[in-house]
């Protein structure tokens, strides 16, 4: 009986211990406990971006989206140009925007993104077996 009582006390002692609270700076909280970026209605998208022949596409790990062609998309393309060797090369981007479903009768991807903010643009690191080149390959 004494052993059970000792084990019970030791068990309660271990479970009653609390970790010290870490001191971190909390982000500013706005209405509904959301930060300013969460409260603006925009979503963040990361993936490979390409713009070629009046078609802009963002390929994420889970889906492919069309990009609304506007001034912000052209700004994104201008930022992507230094990272491209050819016009059809992908560039890794992170953007924030509004997801718009395709209207009935419209061609294209089921959803498109209206880009509102450009967070990052960097070179796409393709694996060697991923790259497919189209066109004339002249053998010497």
What does pLDDT average to in each consecutive run of 10 residues of the chain (140 residues)?
63 57 45 57 91 91 92 94 89 93 87 94 75 57
Phi-psi region of 53 (alpha: psi -120 to 50; beta: other; left: phi over 0): left
This prediction has a pTM of 0.63
Q: What is the pLDDT of residue 24?
A: 45
Q: What is the pLDDT of residue 100?
A: 92
In angstroms, what CA-CA distances link 95 with 46, 48, 50, 80? Answer: 7, 11, 13, 12
Sketch out the chain's domains with CATH numbers. 35-124 (2.40.50.140)
Helix then strand then coil, % of the chain, to nearest 5: 25, 30, 40
Q: What is the pLDDT of residue 41?
A: 80
């Amino acid at each position: 009986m004494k052993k059970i009582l000792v084990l019970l006390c030791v068990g309660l002692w271990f479970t009653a211990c609390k970790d010290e609270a870490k001191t971190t700076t909390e982000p500013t909280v706005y209405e509904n406990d959301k930060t300013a970026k969460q409260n603006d209605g925009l979503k963040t998208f990361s993936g490979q971006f390409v713009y070629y022949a009046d078609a802009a596409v963002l390929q994420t790990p889970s889906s492919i989206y069309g990009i609304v062609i506007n001034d912000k998309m052209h700004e994104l393309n201008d930022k992507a140009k230094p990272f491209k060797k050819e016009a059809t090369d992908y560039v890794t981007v992170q953007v924030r925007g509004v997801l718009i479903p395709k209207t009935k009768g419209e061609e294209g991807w089921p959803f498109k993104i209206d880009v509102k903010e450009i967070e990052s643009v960097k070179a796409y690191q393709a694996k060697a077996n991923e790259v497919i080149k189209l066109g004339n390959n002249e053998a010497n």
